[in-house]
Amino acid sequence: MTIGHDVASLIALARPCRRIVAFTGAGISTESGIPDYRGPGGVWERNAPPTLSDFRENAQTRLTYWHERRARYPALRDTDPNAGHFALARLQSVGRLTHIITQNIDGLHQKAGSPAKTTIELHGTAHKVRCLDCFASWPAAAIQARLAQEAIPGCANCGGMLRAATVLFGQTLPDDALRRTFDVARASDLVLVVGSSLVVQPAARIPEFAVAAGARLAIINNEPTPLDGIADVVVRASAGLVLSALANALLDQVEATGSG
């Protein structure tokens, strides 16, 4: 195993692989200006995200939530992807990366050009708002417009409670996303973990599952993770730089051989 700033080892590992899957976390978006969960500044949405039962039972929690969302959503909406998101999208576009599984809710992979079909948002998205009761959903912009008049918007369908379509701590992950994720992980020959502390469960079990099913593992993260010990390569460096170098190397290979 190699641990360090060794991008050459990562490129050598990835070169022969044909079913590469990226597993991304908050760390891929810090270079776009969105703080990660563990880093200084805390989470994007709230410093201490409410639990679902707190949100349902407490009108003050909902009031504070919508007040903050009204003030903060525009900045997220206007955030641009960075070199790391673009590098993964380039690899997807030539078939060198089959899927992106992301824990992020910021939508930056799709903004960089990653197809929605092969980009699985395990924890949902901040760019939609969903009814907790009838599950109808709306683009965030439609609800944002209502916030000019309404302190706590309700579901236009059933009068139920609305919230961003993201998974809260303590909530189970959507079955469909989870099933697809395990299928993708099982079929992969290399999982590239990017910018994840790998401590949020059950998401963090996915790379481990892929390894047990025969995949190689590379981890690109600024700090140690609990899976470093089973990784083939660990690169402790900035995601944007490392992924750009990887994409350049693998795309040169595509051009040289005429195949992906």
CB of 73 to ligand NAD, least distance (A): 13
The answer to whether 246 touches 87, Cβ cutoff 8 Å, is yes
* Subset of residues 37 to 96 that bind ligand NAD, contact rule: CB under 6 A: 37-39, 43-44
* Subset of residues 96 to 125 that bind ligand NAD, contact rule: CB under 6 A: 103-106, 123
Q: Is there a catalytic annotation at residue 67? A: no
Query: Between 57 and 80, whose beta carbon lies closer to Zn ion?
Result: 57
Spell out, one character per residue from 202 to 231, where the chain touches ligand NAD: x when CB under 6 A holds, - when not: -------------------xxx--------
Could you tell me the end-to-end alpha-carbon distance of the chain, in angstroms, rounded to an integer? 26
Query: Between 103 and 155, whose beta carbon lies closer to ligand NAD?
Result: 103
Query: Applying CB under 5 A, which of residues 39, 49, 160, 224 lies at the interface with Zn ion?
Result: 160
Q: What are phi and psi of 137, to 5 degrees?
A: -135, 155
Burial of 219 (0-12, 13-18, 19+ CB in 10 A): buried
How many residues are present in the chain? 260
List the single partner that 42 binds among ligand NAD, Zn ion, none, CB under 5 to 8 Å by kind: none
CB of 33 to ligand NAD, least distance (A): 10
* Subset of residues 10 to 29 that bind ligand NAD, contact rule: CB under 6 A: 25-27, 29
The three-state (H, E, C) secondary structure of 27-54, written as one string: HHCHHHCCCCCCCCCCCCCCCCCCCHHH
Order of strands, sheet of 124-131, starting from the edge strand that comes earlier in the sequence: 137-139, 124-131, 162-166
Query: Applying CB under 6 A, which of residues 50, 81, 153, 195 lies at the interface with ligand NAD?
Result: 195
CB of 179 to ligand NAD, least distance (A): 19
Q: Does 145 interact with Zn ion (rule: CB under 5 A)?
A: no
Order of strands, sheet of 190-194, starting from the edge strand that comes earlier in the sequence: 2-4, 233-235, 216-220, 190-194, 20-24, 97-102, 119-121
Work out whether strand 124-131 and strand 137-139 pair parallel, antiparallel, or are unpaired.
antiparallel
The interface region with Zn ion, picked from 75-83, 89-97, 160-168, 169-177 by CB under 5 A, is 160-168
Q: Does 155 interact with Zn ion (rule: CB under 5 A)?
A: yes
Helix (H, G, I), strand (E, B) or coil at 139: strand
The footprint of Zn ion (CB under 5 A) covers 131, 133-134, 155, 157-158, 160
